């Protein structure tokens, strides 16, 4: 008995496209006999010519290269013949991803379901297209950097795993279309799943992401919020300062925290547990480093870091998509994060730093938000005085 069934095919057009899968069902044996299928298809290039020796990988749609159980997954690796055709046999009923690569930059990804009783599945011809480059950063919440622990980025259904570098940065070339990324850390960390849609030749920065261990979860109520603030104040030797005097509360959560002038110890990773923070004032504390936790404060709208001793700003500040006001004046900054222009700021103060030269794209962006920045740097004063 012949029947037609539509299967989803994701090719390097960045879209899920309905393609016909010709299926021939030949049921043999008793009703409890499991029949395996053979999947066939052809791969061509943009000129319509067959692609020979392309690598064809079939995996379960939820397969993960590192954290998944390989023993419970179907894994098949084949190559296309001179005519561009491939054949994958012994495929049990289930949902699968098929990734096809002829080089690091040309690929296609197919998605298809093998139903019980089906024996032959003919996939539509697919064209290899350029991939998309993604990048981002992954941090582990209980360590200052990932040098002492490893975070991994996996792509569901693909034989891909990317270990982040010592700064938390990762980059990969993926098939365009709908991809599911799984970010994971050591066993006690809770993984994070991201769903993204990619167009051909995309170069997309996904942002910064923080993974939490089961023992370092962020606060979920006002009681936890106040406990964290109390601990920070006590670590500064300021038991005389009340939580109420330095916080703003709305809807039962702390949304504002003013720790201005309380000393370097206010720069605590514990602040990252205050997920509801919209305003944070750490100005006037002579802070030099230790601001990596800022990338975890996703709802931050107003950040004041003026009058400190900062030489650099952590790259993960560029992931604060809600940030609108940023005060970095009166520091020792000589450079800015390269992706800082990703921010949508309404107010920016960079005065009295040492930003003598910026890359063109940053100089243009900064001038749009802080028009007088270049004339307020200390290097300008040194040049005028001859020092």
Average pLDDT over residues 177-201: 87
Residue 232 CA to its chain's centroid (Å): 30
pTM metric for this prediction = 0.56
Domain 132-211 adopts which CATH fold?
Immunoglobulin-like (2.60.40)
Task: Please tell me the predicted confidence (pLDDT) of residue 14.
Answer: 33
Domain 222-385 adopts which CATH fold?
3.80.10
Domain ranges of the chain: 2-28+38-130, 132-211, 222-385
Task: Please tell me the predicted confidence (pLDDT) of residue 316.
Answer: 78
Q: Higher pLDDT residue, 235 or 105?
A: 235
**Mean pLDDT score of the chain, rounded to an integer?**
84
Sign of the Cα pseudo-torsion (376, 380, 386, 387, in order): positive
Topology alike, domains 2-28+38-130 and 222-385: no
From start to end of 239-373, where are the E strands?
Answer: 247-250, 253-258, 279-281, 302-304, 325-327, 347-349
Min mean pLDDT across 149-158, 225-234, 322-331 is at 149-158
Task: Please tell me the predicted confidence (pLDDT) of residue 23.
Answer: 45
Average pLDDT over residues 140-150: 54
pLDDT in tens, 358-377: 999 999 999 999 999 999 99
Task: Please tell me the predicted confidence (pLDDT) of residue 28.
Answer: 44
pLDDT in tens, 284-338: 999 998 888 888 888 999 999 999 999 999 887 887 889 999 999 999 999 999 8
Taking 50 as the threshold, does the pLDDT of residue 184 lie above it? yes
**Cα(first)–Cα(last) distance of the chain, in Å?**
89
Taking 80 as the threshold, does the pLDDT of residue 15 lie above it? no
Average pLDDT over residues 21-44: 66
Min mean pLDDT across 70-74, 242-246, 310-314 is at 70-74
**Could you give the C-alpha distances from 330 to 62, 206, 303, 362, in angstroms and in order?**
51, 31, 14, 19
Task: Please tell me the predicted confidence (pLDDT) of residue 170.
Answer: 92
What DSSP assignment string belongs to 204-240? EEEEEEEE-BTTSPPP-SHHHHHHHHHHHHHHTT-TT
Taking 80 as the threshold, does the pLDDT of residue 95 lie above it? yes
CATH class of segment(s) 2-28+38-130: mainly beta
Taking 60 as the threshold, does the pLDDT of residue 383 lie above it? no
Task: Please tell me the predicted confidence (pLDDT) of residue 70.
Answer: 57
Taking 80 as the threshold, does the pLDDT of residue 147 lie above it? no
Task: Please tell me the predicted confidence (pLDDT) of residue 67.
Answer: 72
Question: How do 94-101 and 55-60 pair as beta strands?
Answer: antiparallel
From start to end of 45-176, where are the E strands?
Answer: 55-60, 75-79, 85-91, 94-101, 106-114, 118-122, 126-127, 129-130, 132-140, 152-155, 161-163, 169-174
The model's confidence at residue 34, banded by pLDDT at 50, 70 and 90, is low
Percent helix, strand, coil in the chain (nearest 5)? 15, 35, 45
Average pLDDT over residues 252-266: 93
Percent of the chain scoring above 70 in pLDDT: 84
Average pLDDT over residues 210-220: 74
Min mean pLDDT across 24-33, 89-98, 199-208 is at 24-33
Q: Higher pLDDT residue, 67 or 129?
A: 129
């Amino acid at each position: 008995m012949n029947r037609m069934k539509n299967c989803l095919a994701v090719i390097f057009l960045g879209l899920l496209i309905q393609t016909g899968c010709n299926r021939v069902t030949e049921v043999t044996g008793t009703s409890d006999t499991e029949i395996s299928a053979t999947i066939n298809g052809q791969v061509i290039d943009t000129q319509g010519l067959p692609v020979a020796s392309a690598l064809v990988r079939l995996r379960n749609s939820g397969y993960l290269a590192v954290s998944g159980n390989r023993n419970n997954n179907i894994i098949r690796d084949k190559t296309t013949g001179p005519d561009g055709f491939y054949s994958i046999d012994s495929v049990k009923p289930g949902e699968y991803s098929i990734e096809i690569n002829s080089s690091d930059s040309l690929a296609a990804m197919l998605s298809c379901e093998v139903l019980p009783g089906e024996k032959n599945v003919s996939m539509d011809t697919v064209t290899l297209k350029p991939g998309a480059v993604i990048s981002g950063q992954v941090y582990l919440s209980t360590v200052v950097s990932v040098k002492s622990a490893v975070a991994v980025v996996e792509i569901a259904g693909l034989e891909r795993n990317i270990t982040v570098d010592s700064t938390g940065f990762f980059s990969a070339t993926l098939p365009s279309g709908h991809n599911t990324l799984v970010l994971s850390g050591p066993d006690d960390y809770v993984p994070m799943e991201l769903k993204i849609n990619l167009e051909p030749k995309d170069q997309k920065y996904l942002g910064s992401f923080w993974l939490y261990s089961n023992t370092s979860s962020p606060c979920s109520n006002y009681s936890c919020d106040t406990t964290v603030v109390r601990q920070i104040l006590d670590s500064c030797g300021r038991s005389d300062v009340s939580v109420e005097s330095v916080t703003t509360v709305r809807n039962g959560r702390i949304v504002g925290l003013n720790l201005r002038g309380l000393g370097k110890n206010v720069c605590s990773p514990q602040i990252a547990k205050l997920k509801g923070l919209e305003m944070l004032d750490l100005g006037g504390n002579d802070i030099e480093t230790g601001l990596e936790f800022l990338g975890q404060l996703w709802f931050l709208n107003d950040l004041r870091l003026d009058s400190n001793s900062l030489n650099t700003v952590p790259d993960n500040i560029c992931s604060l998509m809600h940030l609108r006001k940023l005060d970095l004046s009166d520091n020792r900054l000589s450079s800015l994060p390269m992706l800082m222009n990703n921010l949508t700021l309404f107010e920016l103060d960079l005065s009295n730093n040492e930003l003598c030269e910026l890359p063109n794209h940053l100089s243009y962006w900064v001038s749009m938000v802080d028009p007088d920045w270049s004339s307020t740097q200390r290097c300008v004063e040194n040049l005028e005085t001859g020092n």
